[in-house]
Amino acid sequence: MAHYVVLANFTDQGIRGVKDTTKRAKAFREMAEKMNAKIKDIYWTLGSYDVVLTMEAPNDETAAALLSKAGSLGNLKSQTLRAFDEREMDQILAKIP
């Protein structure tokens, strides 16, 4: 499974309905499971981003579909970072001549 870090901010709609944010998070986890992805952690944060989450998906296409669907609901705008664990990074580094 590929790893991702997602940085998100509430939209105007999302902050107006902030009292439902944990309910939306639960629904997002369920949506991810149906797409064969897994939401590892969700944190509501102070600072530049309102929400930070980590997730796994079988590939970039699945991650993009999941996050596009979540974005289409209108509560969050997000930036997604592909992340590599230590084993993956060792494989990457092994390719450097």
How many domains does the chain contain in total? 1
Average pLDDT score over residue span 59-64: 98
The C-alpha atoms of residue 10 and residue 67 are separated, in whole angstroms, by: 14
Q: Residue 2: pLDDT band by 50, 70, 90 thresholds?
A: very high
pLDDT tens column, 31-42: 999 999 999 999
* Whole-angstrom Cα Rg for the chain: 15
Give the structural domain span for 81: 2-94
Using the structure block, give the residue that is written with the tokens 């590599």.
Answer: 84
92 near 84, Cβ under 8 Å? yes
pTM listed for this prediction: 0.92
Q: Residue 27: pLDDT band by 50, 70, 90 thresholds?
A: very high
**What per-residue confidence (pLDDT) applies to 58?**
98
Residue 54 belongs to domain with CATH number: 3.30.70.920
